Structure 1
């Protein structure tokens, strides 16, 4: 699905279809401040213990605040056998600049 590489623009992330698992790897306090609808929250530090909550047969598109933690999440998921992976370049910060209904922090 992610033929153009692993870095998704905010517009592309917004327009993902329902087959993609949206993964938020930020901390709960960050999630409480701002979130993208439809994403499951699994903080990066819990991903190894909770990876079973994700379906490896479906694409995963991760995000964090600025994009660094989501890249680490993709590396972990790739090692766990996930194949179709991408992340939101610039994180939720970039997304909130595109969508003013998502607060910036």
Structure 2
């Protein structure tokens, strides 16, 4: 079962400088509108073919995110199948991040 992480939990991990790898699985157009700083864009439909590009620096938690948290669940499941052990999906996606954490990130 795919682990989920709330935007508040992610915010606290980032604030504490815990190792986190932010993986945006939306489309390039969505990424241009709004993105979490420091995230890597690999669209969900390219994830299986490009998974080797993920450089999570050992023990970093890979947090997949999308617009509302649906595609990121699929992405996290794919990554787990490919052998990544520390993976989570961001509940509510970047939209929840914009609402609850950083209003400067545009909503769409």
Do Structure 1 and Structure 2 share a fold, with TM-score over 0.5?
yes
Match of 2:74 in 1: 72
Match of 1:49 in 2: 49
Q: Please list every run of at least 4 consecutive aligned residues from structure 1 whose deviation after the TM superposition is greater than 4 angstroms.
A: none
Kindly report the root-mean-square deviation, in angstroms, between the aligned alpha carbons of the 2 structures. 1.5
Q: TM-score, normalization: structure 2?
A: 0.86
Structure 2 unaligned residues grouped into runs of 5+: none
1:14: Cα distance to partner?
2.2
Report how many aligned residue pairs link the two structures: 101
Are positions 1:94 and 2:96 aligned together? yes
User: Which runs of 5 or more residues in structure 1 are unaligned?
Assistant: none
Alignment partner, residue 6 of structure 1: 3
Residue 59 of structure 1 deviates from its aligned partner by: 2.1
SS of equivalent residue, structure 1 residue 15? helix
- The TM-score, its normalising length taken from structure 1, stands at 0.88
